[in-house]
């Protein structure tokens, strides 16, 4: 008896399932950090905030960074399978997701390690690490940028199957001008994530509105240019 799960289609489906599953873990924790934990830290007294940074945040960050890693790896496999039929939508969505994974592992996690180490050192009677003051804003900006990116990323991941813009190599689907503008916008926002400021993304409402606006702008550029 043929078992579809052990066919090539079944293997592809397992990677799709894994991509969804790991993505839920990753993005769910991203929204927890930005919509819940950050707002709580603004109001919490120093002792409670310090305790959470030492005991809660490291646990959440473990699931967060590995969710990001396995979402990225399963996504790479799916891109390999689809390499001959990449839609414009999936190309934009995958670019955003890749930058988000890079931000997790090379900006958010390294800086959060410094913040955690500093809080632990203070709780044990030592001095705060001098670099912690700069590390926290860097991690926060990258995290806010990932929240910004996540909204169009999820839109285009879904639209790639249900509202496709056509194969990316088809000039009717992706003009040169469209590709240049879309990726310049994304690149500018990523540069801001490294060297800029949160600006309107400081508040929860602000980052949500910016994410929805970015989705609309990218979609318009993809279809009107």
Is the pLDDT at 143 greater than 90, yes or no?
yes
Quick check: helix, strand or coil at residue 140? helix
Q: How confident is the model at residue 2 (pLDDT cuts 50, 70, 90)?
A: low
Q: So where are the chain's domains?
A: 4-224
Alpha-carbon dihedral angle through residues 189, 190, 191, 195, given to the nearest 10 degrees:
100
Tens digit of each residue's pLDDT (9 = 90 or more) over 104-133: 999 999 999 999 999 999 999 889 999 999
First-last CA distance in the chain? 52
pTM higher than the cut 0.85: yes
For residue 98, name the pLDDT band (cuts at 50, 70, 90). very high
């Amino acid at each position: 008896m043929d078992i579809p799960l052990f066919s090539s289609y079944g293997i592809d489906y397992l990677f799709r399932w894994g991509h969804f599953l790991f993505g839920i873990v990753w993005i769910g924790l991203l929204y927890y950090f930005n919509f819940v934990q950050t707002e709580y830290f603004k109001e919490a007294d120093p002792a409670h905030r310090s305790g959470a940074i030492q005991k809660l945040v490291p646990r959440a960050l473990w699931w967060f960074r590995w969710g990001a890693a396995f979402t990225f790896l399963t996504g790479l496999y799916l891109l390999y399978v689809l390499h001959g039929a990449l839609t414009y939508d999936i190309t934009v969505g995958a670019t955003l997701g890749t930058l988000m994974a890079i931000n997790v592992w090379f900006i958010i996690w390294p800086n959060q390690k410094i913040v955690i180490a500093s809080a632990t050192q203070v709780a044990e009677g030592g001095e705060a690490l001098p670099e912690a003051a700069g590390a926290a804003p860097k991690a926060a900006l990258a995290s806010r940028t990932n929240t910004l990116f996540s909204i169009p990323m999820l839109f285009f991941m879904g639209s790639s199957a249900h509202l496709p813009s056509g194969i990316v190599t088809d000039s009717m689907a992706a003009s040169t001008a469209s590709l240049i503008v879309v990726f310049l916008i994304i690149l500018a926002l990523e540069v801001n994530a490294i060297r800029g400021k949160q600006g309107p993304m400081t508040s929860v409402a602000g980052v949500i509105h910016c994410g929805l606006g970015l989705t609309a702008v990218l979609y318009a550029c993809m279809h009107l240019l």
